Structure 1
């Protein structure tokens, strides 16, 4: 909004346009956000990000998260490895990788994309209101395994997960179906038209098969930008913690 407010005549016209596209933001929310002081996490991120960039550049832009994390500890900075991974991704920093690089998020430019209904607001007033989804990969001795997750933003609980040796649509669809099954089994079923399913714009999440399944369950689809850590920040944190536990 700060970037476009002068072009469109202020904050209010932008809010009205967003409301017309099912992304309701009241002007008072914008002004309250502007006045709100930075959170402790945001202040910590602002302190660490330049250090990470400096270490990365000082080491010929080849250090990955593990080596940068170790160097930060040597310098006396107590920080979690998943935090280093998150900030590196936000800064677009990638370490040198031996062998073939695995890419998870590949957009289908021809597919129709659902709107972003969250606007980076990963909160919910009750269970089964907002679920966020993403998947990652794990290198094993027998090959690459892809693991998909679905998290309820109200409790930050993983409600569904799935693993497969390929990254096709059934991988993410199975995670969604597990979440629906688990909630039915716990006698807290998803109510029609109350749930938003948010993901990045990977081809699995824009596929006709997943869109059809969401429509049949009367779940509203929400999609951020391709591979944007901020547009799916909750899942980036979940995946970071998952990989940290594996390591």
Structure 2
């Protein structure tokens, strides 16, 4: 008995079901594609966040932490180094080269209304400077016509104390070498209530009397108070 061909209505129903299956398959493939894209984006974002956390300076944000590795921009320098003549400043001598019999370092960081300000290079160095750059390409004053026992080479905040004999330097002497005032209501050109920290502890009284000892970390906050930021000295200092 010969096979009967499907009726027209049956053929139409088969065509409709086939079209529906094709549309369902297309929707499934589209969902899979979106899941793959979302997964890739999520992986990228997680990786980017992880890298940001890994390389974000530990001292950023509020609270105690290590000071930022990167210095503030050059435009944030509090005040330029003063002009020196080679004559003694507060009894501190200068010479043609550095004296290393006594050789220690301290660190000074200054915040004005919450914004960090740089120390300039060349404090305690008589112009013209002998300029070079450090490993990161930042300016570095190797020396000048004369260099004092108390000086800065760069804008990192590191204070160099290098003398032929052991000397007890003070923060007031450093500011005199800088050519800037220091009081309980003024730091350089910045005016406001001063809060001073030494190695994380608040100190009161005349800030000029603060002693500069080996690896002291001194923080001066003018106006608003920034939680103390610790500092890790580079190897060899």
Q: Report TM bin, short chain.
A: under 0.3
Give TM-score scaled by structure 2 length. Answer: 0.26
Task: Give 1 or 2: higher helix fraction.
Answer: 1
Query: Whose strand fraction is larger, Structure 1's or Structure 2's?
Result: 2
